[in-house]
Amino acid sequence: MERTTAIRAIDPDDLDSERSRAVFDDAVRILQDGRLVAFPTETVYGLGAIATNPEAVVRIFGAKGRPPTNPLIVHVSDLSMAQQYTRTWPPTADRIAEHFWPGPITIILPRTSMIPDRVTGARETVGIRIPSNPIARELIRRTGFPLAAPSANRSTGISPTTADHVSKHLAGRIDLIIDGGPTNVGIESTILDLSGEAPTILRPGKITSEELKAVLEEPVLSVEKIVPTNQVALSPGQSAVHYAPQTPTIRLEPGEPWPDLSNLTTPIGVIRFGSSDMLLPTLDQAQATWIHLPEPVIAERRLYEALHRLDDSNATLILVLMPPNQPAWTAIRDRLRRATRSLSETGPDLTRSK
Ligand code: TXA
Ligand code: MG
């Protein structure tokens, strides 16, 4: 059913103003009614429902067009809430919480029966995190329940870092978008599985494997493998196609020769990363939009904004000049590999869509 989606702003530095309180009141009412509210976190905007309400959680999958097997992250406002919904709490979880929460890391632990099957795709574990965005935490606190929230985009699309991005994907499908301005971190949380033998990174993010090793003082494994889209994965969000623009988007690894663009008569967009003086071909400036993201923190913050912008422009092809294969770029490279095709996967017509 088509609904009217309200977009209402809250100033993250003024949660207690009359205006902010009115928005929180409405948001809490909608959530307690079993409906959906998009809200900012420090990583990307989330599409929230009360995690303990299976009917509400089902609506998330409907609004996103997400396969029900792909589990949702549960957002809590404090440590005691996290412990209330997990069955075990190993010392590693304490270390992560102490060093990184509130913040952009999700841990996977055995769930209690208060977390419904719908949230976890019937897995016995739950992904849980305390976001650092004050609007997110205040919303959870006022609701009094954890919020299940995936990124607030249509399944496999580009993640949202502004309320406008959310609206582009989900207007008419949800009741309310809380606008808290552009997100600060810009890419999704690191996902760390603490339910098995060894801590294992299921999705790289802002908090790096090196930082985790230093804090946990033990080896940290990484699931590097990208699995085909339809296959059930350890972390199904790690499927091959994800975060993808509608516009054909091709990646070039450092040192890879440029494709022949001489026959291309339509506009293109180019995103490049890092500070290296790589050899760039001369492209007709009227025909090309360049975006340069020189260092990892800025690149994380602005990656999705850049992809949204080029996808919404008149470009018929997006070229992504990949950053180097170095630890600081791991999370960015992970997202870009899923958002793009390599040149060898692409036929002679570069602008042909997937
Ligand atoms: O930063 C973030 O994590 C954002 C904000 C909104 O918090 N959320 C986010 O959610 O990225 P989503 O649904 O787009 O990605 C969640 C990922 C998926 O890859 C999912 O498979 C994985 O978390 N996940 C969730 N619960 C899991 C579990 N129990 N076991 C394994 N993977 C899990
Ligand atoms: Mg997502």
> In this predicted model, what pLDDT tens digit does every residue of 147-168 receive, in sequence order?
999 999 999 999 999 999 999 9
Average pLDDT, the chain: 92
Whole-number Å distance, alpha carbon 284 to ligand 2 midpoint, is: 35
Tokens of 302: 């602005």
Whole-number Å distance, alpha carbon 10 to ligand 1 midpoint, is: 25
pTM of the shown model: 0.94
User: Between residues 143 and 280, which one has the greater pLDDT?
Assistant: 143
The pLDDT value recorded for residue 135 is 98
Give, for ligand 1, the residue of 101, 115, 151 to mutate: max count of ligand atoms closer than 8 Å to Cβ: 151
Whole-number Å distance, alpha carbon 190 to ligand 2 midpoint, is: 12
Task: Tell me if 331 CB under 6 Å of ligand 1.
Answer: no
The pLDDT value recorded for residue 234 is 47
Ligand nearest, relative to CA of residue 204: 1
What distances in angstroms separate CA 181 from CA 69, 135, 165, one per listed residue? 31, 11, 11
Give, for ligand 1, the residue of 188, 239, 304, 338 to mutate: max count of ligand atoms closer than 8 Å to Cβ: 188
The three-class DSSP label of residue 215 is helix
- Mean pLDDT, rounded, for 133-153: 98
The burial of 266, by beta-carbon neighbours within 10 Å (0-12 exposed, 13-18 middle, 19 or more buried), is given as exposed
Assign 288 a pLDDT band (cuts: 50, 70, 90).
confident
Task: Tell me if 108 CB under 6 Å of ligand 1.
Answer: yes
Task: Tell me if 195 CB under 6 Å of ligand 1.
Answer: no
Whole-number Å distance, alpha carbon 191 to ligand 1 midpoint, is: 7
Residues 323 and 227: beta-carbon distance below 8 Å: no
Sign of CA dihedral 107, 109, 113, 116: positive
Strand 105-110 relative to strand 190-193: parallel, antiparallel, unpaired?
parallel
Task: Tell me if 190 CB under 6 Å of ligand 1.
Answer: no
**pLDDT surpassing 80 at residue 239:** no
Task: Tell me if 48 CB under 6 Å of ligand 1.
Answer: no
- C-beta atoms surrounding 311 within 10 Å: 18
- 6 has which bridge partners? 176
> Which numbered atom of ligand 1 lies nearest the CA of 126?
29
**pLDDT surpassing 70 at residue 241:** yes
Ligand nearest, relative to CA of residue 125: 1
pLDDT digits (tens, 9 = 90+) for 61-97: 999 999 999 999 999 999 999 999 999 999 999 999 9
How large a percentage of the chain has pLDDT more than 70?
A: 91
**pLDDT surpassing 50 at residue 236:** no
pLDDT digits (tens, 9 = 90+) for 96-127: 999 999 999 999 999 999 999 999 999 999 99
pLDDT digits (tens, 9 = 90+) for 167-200: 999 999 999 999 999 999 999 999 999 999 999 9
User: Between residues 1 and 23, which one has the greater pLDDT?
Assistant: 23
Task: Tell me if 245 CB under 6 Å of ligand 1.
Answer: no
The pLDDT value recorded for residue 277 is 62
Residues 19 and 158: beta-carbon distance below 8 Å: no
Task: Tell me if 120 CB under 6 Å of ligand 1.
Answer: yes
Whole-number Å distance, alpha carbon 224 to ligand 2 midpoint, is: 17
Assign 232 a pLDDT band (cuts: 50, 70, 90).
very low
Assign 279 a pLDDT band (cuts: 50, 70, 90).
low
pLDDT digits (tens, 9 = 90+) for 319-353: 999 999 999 999 999 999 999 999 888 877 788 75
User: Between residues 237 and 107, which one has the greater pLDDT?
Assistant: 107
Task: Tell me if 189 CB under 6 Å of ligand 1.
Answer: yes
Ligand nearest, relative to CA of residue 159: 2
User: Between residues 224 and 142, which one has the greater pLDDT?
Assistant: 142
What distances in angstroms separate CA 147 from CA 35, 118, 139, 210, 226, one per listed residue? 11, 13, 9, 29, 28
